[in-house]
Structure 1
């Protein structure tokens, strides 16, 4: 995998821990589209959240590529990142992630080279190997049959060569350039929910982000595999692991009220798994849904992986998870119905977790 660490000096991936927080805390946002909410309103809410997150002291803010999902408006991370960067000034912004098999590596190198040129030192390029959609939509995106997912290392190598401008002599692309390309490139992260990307990230000496929020049973094994596979690189001297965590904090009502809000995302995921994607339902819709026994079990399993309750309960739950997994950074997502409820959840979490910033909420 030559080129995976070239052109990018060893960096302080962790950054500065804000306030009394035990580790950096970040946000994964999906530009949530709930029942009765337009895509424009959802994207405006994401913009408002990014600006607020910067003031509260969150470390980074990532958006994810999904397609064909009525409840998610972040289908094109590069476009949304450019918009968010224009409305913030210090917050790190990135993709969590770009689904590389959906794209020509040169196109991604150009997109993120442009973002880095516009906003130097603020852009992360997180990469996943899943399609982020159903097989039919993936074929439409790729204009052909689905590729072997094991081809991901080759595509990653090609992308890094384009980013670094260092294809070897004789390579078919040796004369091609990704433009613009400055002296630095955005930090590369590998994302995953299983062991494949964990092992690859370790072998390449790259930071790794694990999707604990929908693959909690695999979190500890994947992180152990990442650390045991890790080889120091020009990018990173030691392993650095981030985990995505679903979390919902409420000012009153504790765990029952937070569960009521979180059930909206659970029902949305249930519908998605059944091939019937929808906007995020309201809590009332989720409460009234006639769950079969199997569906009720699915919902309980989903809620069991959400850190929820009062601000203090959520902060304690996040810290317990950090210690249990050894994660270097936590990235929370409150994928719930209601713009005001989402912003409130992130604000309460920032306050309880000890983040500081120019607009940090008072304790």
Structure 2
């Protein structure tokens, strides 16, 4: 869910200043639905996190992954419903190149939090390999795994070619790849199919629900036609959010998975003590995105670097437009902004992401959002 059409939407574990206390993740009334989220506390809707294992300037990928692990543990205690990671390649500022590997690690360090891919870029992989990886995750951690799928590479064309060596299909064949993956997960290829006698192992003890990810109408329509849940990348395609969700709902056909549409949207959100402090943090994400769009991906710059950057008029326009799609400010401002966005789009669930520099600031932002939104 994080960078182009239909792509992917790090300490101690004690409480810190500004953190809400732990929230029970199970118990009477806990949702058993594998798809629909549960709103915790007094929150008006389920709230989740998309994390990219962000690597900031001055830090290493190992430190970023350790921070993501700590953040997942904290998110579980704060009452977030699910925690997704995304597949990206060739981006120094993003350490989550292999969602299946990272999810196995996160699942071993949490106990109730739903974990998933936001997403796996299916054209980069053989469907059988994805079925085996996520079948194994489901067997290890039953009832906790989501399989979110995108149809773009999550990288540049040269890297995509290197990833897909030996794979003839691309994004245009996504519906066929998805059908093949689903048959491998369910073990139900029709008689006479070339793969009818093949089995993805492990399988048969349940499988993770499939989500389609999107930043345009293609996956919205496909998710609706197949009766699957849909996750839209509002955080980098805000102008397309309402049209895509409308298309999803109008295309929806009930299935064995869902009897009515269920959609979440990814939202860039940053909370701090006041709006100016949040804006200062958010500018580091804006400069990182600017450099990515210019073909110069790198580590997430510090707020000082972002403030001192000599922006051209065109770059400043890009930054202002980018910041305009974010929900940021003091905690109450962010909570109100998230609710306005949910009301405007009709989203069933919100998935916040803070692609900012520094784990302390990022963790504090998620803690403030959880508290202000009513999770605790």
TM-score normalised over the length of structure 1? 0.93
Q: Which residue of 2 aligns with 1:226?
A: 248
5+ long unaligned stretches in structure 2 = 1-31
Question: Retained in 1: the 8 A contact 2:37–2:349?
Answer: no
Residue 285 of structure 2 is aligned to residue 256 of structure 1: no
Q: Which residue of 2 aligns with 1:192?
A: 214
> In structure 2, how many angstroms separate the alpha carbons of the residues matched to 1:48 and 1:17?
22
> In structure 1, how many angstroms separate the alpha carbons of the residues matched to 2:36 and 2:197?
36
Q: Which residue of 2 aligns with 1:210?
A: 232
Deviation of the 1:183 alpha carbon: 2.8
Pairs within 5 Å for 1:86-105:
86-105=108-127
Say if 1:146 and 1:339 are closer, same or farther in 2 by CA, change over 3 A: farther
Q: Which residue of 1 aligns with 2:331?
A: 311
> In structure 2, how many angstroms separate the alpha carbons of the residues matched to 1:31 and 1:119?
21
Question: Retained in 2: the 8 A contact 1:139–1:145?
Answer: no
Q: Which residue of 1 aligns with 2:66?
A: 44
How many equivalent pairs are there? 345
Question: Retained in 2: the 8 A contact 1:11–1:236?
Answer: no
Q: Which residue of 2 aligns with 1:3?
A: none
Deviation of the 1:146 alpha carbon: 7.3
Q: Which residue of 1 aligns with 2:161?
A: 139
Residue 154 of structure 2 is aligned to residue 162 of structure 1: no
Q: Which residue of 1 aligns with 2:18?
A: none
Q: Which residue of 2 aligns with 1:302?
A: 322
1:125-177 Cα distance to aligned partner (Å, 9 max, x none): 00000100000000000016874422100000000000000001110001100
Instruction: Report the 3-state secondary structure (helix = DSSP H, G, I; strand = E; otherwise coil) of the residue aligned with 1:156.
Output: helix
Residue 262 of structure 2 is aligned to residue 275 of structure 1: no
Q: Which residue of 1 aligns with 2:87?
A: 65
Q: Which residue of 1 aligns with 2:44?
A: 22
Q: Which residue of 2 aligns with 1:177?
A: 199
Q: Which residue of 2 aligns with 1:336?
A: 356
Question: Retained in 2: the 8 A contact 1:260–1:283?
Answer: yes
1:33-69 Cα distance to aligned partner (Å, 9 max, x none): 0000100000000000000000000000000000000
Residue 336 of structure 2 is aligned to residue 348 of structure 1: no
TM-score normalised over the length of structure 2? 0.90
Instruction: Report the 3-state secondary structure (helix = DSSP H, G, I; strand = E; otherwise coil) of the residue aligned with 1:80.
Output: helix
